[in-house]
Amino acid sequence: MISMDWKERLRKDSDDFFKNKIPEGFYDIEIVYNAYPLRVNNKIPNEVIAFVGKQIASKVADKPEEYIEFYNYIFDHKGETGKTIFAYIMCRALQKSPDIFFPYLEKKLFVLKDVKLATLIVDKAISPLVRKDPIRYQNIIINWAKNDHPSLTISMQRIITRIMQTHPENISEIFHHLESGWLNAGEPMIKLNIAVLKSIYKIKPDFYFEIYSHYQNTREPIFAEILTGAIMDYHPDIETAVNHWSQSGNIRLKKYGIHALKVIKKKKDMK
């Protein structure tokens, strides 16, 4: 808990930083919070970083496009702390100027190799917007997911699942949008699609089984990899599909089919 005295000091220092430091090209944001006396694991407490991030975000919110050089600096040079503050700023900037800042944020996220930091930024900057208006951002999120970026797999899957839970009527559209990328899917996209299919089963099982019925005669190994990885229950159409794949002359397809036969047998025995 930040004391009232320290909140007031952080407000004043954030205001001074915004008014006097940023215009002069001084972007070392730690000057605002380094005097805070407490540390957690030798780091400034997260609640202090969040407080400062929200203060700065509220100040740049009117004209966020004027401070991109500052955003670049804290993203590139200030580690996890800078990226946390960056995330709070992006949440406000995306609301104000989505046409500018979604492409901007996309470029930033796609250079990140750290899953933890990518997830942090998505959770702070994008998840609040999706919670308020999931339909508005649905296609943007799906297109990002289809970029097959390993650092974004977890966060994109979480958001897509949340949209499906709140808007089950959109499940078919979401699935078919993702499905269009199956043939060229890399490992991150395969994992994401498996997770999404499992979520579909929990939300709309009839549609889930329809997917397997549609694909039961496929000869494409990557389709079988996704579908066998997402088996959640026994269904005759799934059994037909995996039997078909297990007898294939294609080594990969046969491998997925044989493994899936064991899975589907266990599911059937539990019925």
Mark whether 4 and 128 lie in a shared domain: yes
- The candidate with the shortest Cα–Cα distance to 239, out of 269, 210, 260, 218, is 260
3 state SS of 44:
coil
Which pLDDT value is given to residue 264? 94
Between the alpha carbon of residue 268 and those of residues 35, 227, 243, 257, 262, the distances in Å are 62, 17, 14, 16, 10
Mark whether 114 and 144 lie in a shared domain: no
Mark whether 31 and 148 lie in a shared domain: no
**DSSP-assigned letters across all residues of 167-183:** -GGGHHHHHHHHHTTGG
Mark whether 42 and 126 lie in a shared domain: yes
Mark whether 2 and 120 lie in a shared domain: yes
Query: Residue 49, Cα to own-chain centre: how many angstroms?
Result: 22
Mark whether 26 and 122 lie in a shared domain: yes
Mark whether 170 and 270 lie in a shared domain: no
Residue 255's φ and ψ, nearest 5 degrees, are -60, -45
Interatomic CA distance for residues 253 and 249, integer angstroms: 8
114: left (phi over 0), alpha (psi -120 to 50) or beta: beta
Interatomic CA distance for residues 45 and 68, integer angstroms: 26
CB 31 within 8 A of CB 23: no
Cross-strand partners of 40: 43
Mark whether 247 and 196 lie in a shared domain: no
Last residue of a domain, one of 165, 188, 203: 203
Which pLDDT value is given to residue 151? 87
Interatomic CA distance for residues 29 and 68, integer angstroms: 14
The range of the structural domain enclosing residue 196 comes to 134-203
| Exposure letters 226-260 (e unless 16+ CB within 10 A, then b) | bbbbbbbebbeebbebbebbbebeeeebbbbbebb
Mark whether 19 and 105 lie in a shared domain: yes
Number of domains in the chain: 3
Last residue of a domain, one of 203, 220, 249: 203
Taking the model in full, what pTM does it have? Answer: 0.86
- The candidate with the shortest Cα–Cα distance to 188, out of 115, 88, 137, is 115
Mark whether 112 and 162 lie in a shared domain: no
Task: Report which DSSP code applies to 78.
Answer: S
Residue 266 C-beta-side C-alpha neighbours within 13 Å = 6
Mark whether 144 and 98 lie in a shared domain: no
pLDDT tens, N- to C-terminus, the chain (271 residues): 899 999 999 999 999 999 999 999 999 999 999 999 998 999 999 999 999 999 999 999 999 999 999 999 999 999 999 999 999 999 999 989 988 999 999 999 988 888 888 998 999 899 988 888 888 889 999 999 888 888 888 899 999 999 999 999 999 999 999 999 999 999 999 999 999 999 999 999 999 999 999 999 999 999 999 999 999 999 999 999 999 999 999 999 999 999 999 999 999 888 7
Mark whether 93 and 148 lie in a shared domain: no
Which pLDDT value is given to residue 270? 85
Last residue of a domain, one of 203, 225, 243: 203
